A and B are shown apart, each in its own frame.
Chain A
Amino acid sequence: MSALPDTVIVEPLATGAATETPLGRIARDFVTNPIAIFGIVLLLLVVLAAILAPFISPQNPYDLAQLDVMDSRLEPGSKALTGGTYWLGTDDQGRDMLSAIFYGLRISLSVGVASTVLALLIGLTMGLAAAYLGGRVETLIMRIVDIQLSFPAILIALILIAVLGQGTGKVIAALVTVQWAYYARTVRSAALVEKRKEYMEAARCLALPPSRIVFKHLLPNCLPPTIVVATVQVAAAIALEATLSFLGLGLPITEPSLGLLIANGYQYLLSGKYWISFFPGVALLVTIVSINLVADQLRDVMNPRLQK
């Protein structure tokens, strides 16, 4: 990130911000919108709940020895056989819903973030390579991207999970495969625009080595749109993981993520046992909405054209 200042100065609209770091400016602009502050507070709460899950959950929902099928499908507020209260009720295996949601958030967020970071790395490399090298490499990479984007993400993920089998690592692999193409396309278009600017020409005229041109000059200027795409894609990855689990294809059934919790409760909805689906659904909704609020504001802040 140390290269950011000299490149940002090149931006004609960044005038008067020379004494301020770009991160500072982003932070300052970000907090101007109360909805965005609400979003980021919500997101922080969700992240904290996920990180602190082992300490704040009344039960470890993945330790089968702590579950009792005799406690299954209890209403919110019911007392457990072993003492304690199930504040959000229990599911069909006697799992405390509150603990299951905390742990479920943990899985959802870590799968979402891990797959996004990996997909971002792959997408950045591919996009930069395509834009900078051009020619056959570009054609090859971009046609693969086109083919991949012409399939619905869920379809590719389903096929991959069916082939790879179940498990956290495999779900992440499937999500990365589905997502890298978005980054590749975004980065390439951003890089193509930057490539023709004067500072790039200057860098080339100075006969800087290609690695320095790409990583110090081209890459930092392609980052803002990519970061915006990544924030939105974290939410998409979480939703996709939930969809896969809902279909029973994601993670092991003894370690339910939010999607599987919703699927488990879905069949009890008609019989009035709403809590098994409802609360995980709310948790998923809050997570995705808060990420999207933050992503929206980030997009506004990082897009120079939207600056006043």
Chain B
Amino acid sequence: MYALRKFVRLAIAIVIVSLLPFASPSSAQELKIAVAADVTSADPHFFNLFPNNNIAEHIFDKLVQMDPDSKMIPGLATSWKTVDDKTWEFKLRKGVKFHDGSELTAEDVVFSIDRVPNVPNSPGPFTAYTKAIIGKEIVDPYTIRFKYAAPYPLAPNDLSTIYIVSKKAATGATTEDFNSGKAAIGSGRYKLVRYVSGDRIELIRNDNYWGEKSPWPKVTFKIIKNEAARVAALLSGDVDAIEQPPIADLPRLKSDPKFTVTSKISHRVIYFNFDHLQRVSPFITAKDGKPLDKNPLTDLRVRRAISKAINRPAIAERVMESQAVPSGQLVSEKLFGHVLGLKAEAYDPEGAKKLLAEAGYPNGFNITVHGPSGRYVNDEKIVQAVAQMLTRVGINSKVETAPMGPYSARASKQEFSFHMVGWGASTGEASSPLRSLLATFNRDKGLGAVNWGRYSNPKVDYVIEQALQQVDDENRSQMLQQATKMAMDDLGIMPIHFQYTIWATRKGVQYVPRTDEYTLAFQFKQAPGEMAKR
């Protein structure tokens, strides 16, 4: 009995002590943010992975940066232009100091680009963005030229992904030196204080930053993978802001005046791949379970019928709780290559049935719809809703889902008939989905790398390849739009919607949301009047 009482007393003491830090409102000077995924390294060239880049954005700068709408803006380069067809010239910003006080010059830029392909054991290097460069020329300490083998309009887009490190600090440095903070010397808004894998990243403000300084002197990123735990951390006051609150909790967060929810349309399109291969498709059978003699998805009328059968506004409203906009194309508004006026296919179940009958399937057929689980917002629920809508027009649907790892391995081997994926246009333009998702699969040219449905249309390919060499922005935009329209008329893939990226913050902190889904400390603003109240 005595032992029990002692235990209870101890437990109460522990609870009180652990609550103490939260009892006082966290200082307005420090910002604590809970992020959803683990950061695997503080080395900005080690792994092209979203959570890593999210931290690198704070410590390092790039020649070209992206504004919240994924438009390119000057970063370490103040201007860039083509000297001739195959040469780009970048003018560097003068007087930029690294965290160790040394000045940024063209040497550091060359060093950084040379380092990208030479990081040992990199699980996913940034080489796709540097390998087109065949020559680098330092004209003067603030001018650098890049040579390409062919006209290359995407040079600024590519360089908007490469973080510039200090040559002095990083020469001979390993990824471990970056993780320990020794070599993690950038020119960004924050200096790395501590990187603890799987737990937290602590940053302190760089007061010598060349641009607009962040309002937060100290920032801590906490890694909380479980979404319920993330919300709980916000509710308890343990953190000031979280990314990706679960959609189911939004009504509650929105109705509570102590919290603010911000969201913005993402550059990520959620879409379905059709099996375009001319053969019997693995997951399609006739209504009586017998195999069909051909693959119905190669018939445009069937693809159109499927697209018409899907009630995209219902999915956006009910499944996504209005955190998505129906889409009929590859990139959202404001992104380069968006086709104005190209709307999502209207919901028309009767039209779908008519088209199916025309195509020779008056009674429909059986299909298994595949989707990933836990990769995209409400992915499993979207797949189920699509299956129920297809069943209603006569295409009897079953649903199978799997975690992204095994799922993508099977999808990339064309093992599915009809499956869901998402694609983020990280370079901020339609060329990214066009060359990866819709160009004919060609390993040598690096085209169609994620074209898992093996869509192939030589006319679309031609326009994409022309666009990829078109340096003039206006012309390139026109060509990208043309290619998008052709591929969408053909239903090479079937877009469903653009998802929203969501952030939740405590009252007094506001996020300026971004298309590229990044959670950046310096984009959190203190709400006016908040300082006075404290």
Contact = CB atoms under 8 A, between A and B. Distances in A.
A252 B315 CA distance: 21
A272 B314 CA distance: 22
Contacts of B385: 69, 93
A252 B252 contact: no
Given A65-B392, A93-B381, A252 B399 contact: yes
A186 B404 CA distance: 43
Nearest to A72: B318
A92 B388 CA distance: 13
Contacts of A94: 318, 388
Interface string A45-76: 00000000000000000011101111011000
Contact of B388 (A67, A166, A268, A273): A67
Nearest to B384: A93
Given A270-B252, A271-B249, A272-B252, A69 B231 contact: no
B388 A69 contact: yes
B351 to A, nearest CB: 18
A168 to B, nearest CB: 13
Contact of B398 (A68, A93, A252): A252
B401 A253 contact: yes
A267 interface: yes
Interface in A232-256: 248, 252-254
B307 interface: no
Contacts of B384: 64, 93, 253-254
B391 interface: yes
Contact of A69 (B248, B318, B380, B396): B318
B387 A92 contact: no
Interface in A30-52: none
A93 B388 contact: yes
A267 B246 contact: yes
A92 B319 contact: yes
A97 to B, nearest CB: 16
B232 to A, nearest CB: 9
Interface string B361-373: 0000000000001
A142 B385 CA distance: 49
Contacts of A73: 318
B179 interface: no
Nearest to B246: A267
Interface in A204-261: 248, 252-254
B252 A72 contact: no
A67 B390 CA distance: 11
B153 to A, nearest CB: 42
A64 B319 CA distance: 15
A10 B179 CA distance: 78
Contacts of B250: 271
A64 B391 contact: yes
A67 B388 CA distance: 7
Contacts of B401: 253
Contacts of A254: 384, 387, 398-399
B263 to A, nearest CB: 17
B252 A271 contact: yes
Interface string B251-279: 11000000000000000000000000000
Interface residues of B, number: 30
Interface in A64-104: 64-65, 67-70, 72-73, 92-94
Contacts of B231: 270
A253 B372 CA distance: 12
A92 B382 CA distance: 11
B314 A270 contact: no
A254 B384 CA distance: 7
A264 to B, nearest CB: 9
B388 A64 contact: yes
B387 A64 contact: yes
B415 interface: no
User: Which of B246, B319, B388, B390 is the most central at the interface, judged by chain A CB atoms within 10 Å of its CB?
Assistant: B388
B238 interface: no
Contacts of B389: 69
Interface string A91-128: 01110000000000000000000000000000000000
Nearest to A265: B248
Given A70-B318, A253-B399, A270-B231, A65 B388 contact: yes
A271 B254 CA distance: 11
A72 B247 CA distance: 15
B397 A64 contact: yes
A67 B250 CA distance: 25
Interface in B102-127: none
Contacts of B315: 69
B404 to A, nearest CB: 14
Nearest to A270: B249
Interface string B311-328: 100110011000000000
Interface string A268-280: 1011110000000
A253 B380 contact: yes
Contacts of B391: 63-65
Contacts of B396: 64
B388 A68 contact: yes
Contact of A92 (B252, B311, B314, B381): B381
B400 interface: yes
Nearest to B387: A64
Interface in B375-433: 380-381, 384-385, 387-392, 396-401
A41 B384 CA distance: 37
A270 B373 CA distance: 22
Contacts of A92: 319, 381
Given A267-B246, A270-B249, A248 B318 contact: no
Contacts of B319: 69, 72, 92
Contacts of B246: 267
Closest 4 CB pairs of A and B: A64-B391, A64-B388, A65-B391, A69-B385
Given A254-B387, A271-B248, 15 more contacts: A64-B388, A64-B396, A69-B389, A70-B318, A72-B318, A93-B385, A94-B388, A166-B400, A252-B400, A253-B384, A254-B399, A267-B228, A267-B246, A268-B248, A270-B248
25 contacts: A64-B392, A64-B397, A68-B388, A69-B315, A69-B319, A70-B318, A72-B318, A73-B318, A92-B319, A92-B381, A93-B388, A94-B318, A166-B400, A248-B373, A252-B398, A254-B384, A254-B398, A270-B248, A270-B252, A271-B248, A271-B249, A271-B250, A271-B251, A271-B252, A272-B252
Interface of B: 228, 231, 246, 248-252, 311, 314-315, 318-319, 373, 380-381, 384-385, 387-392, 396-401
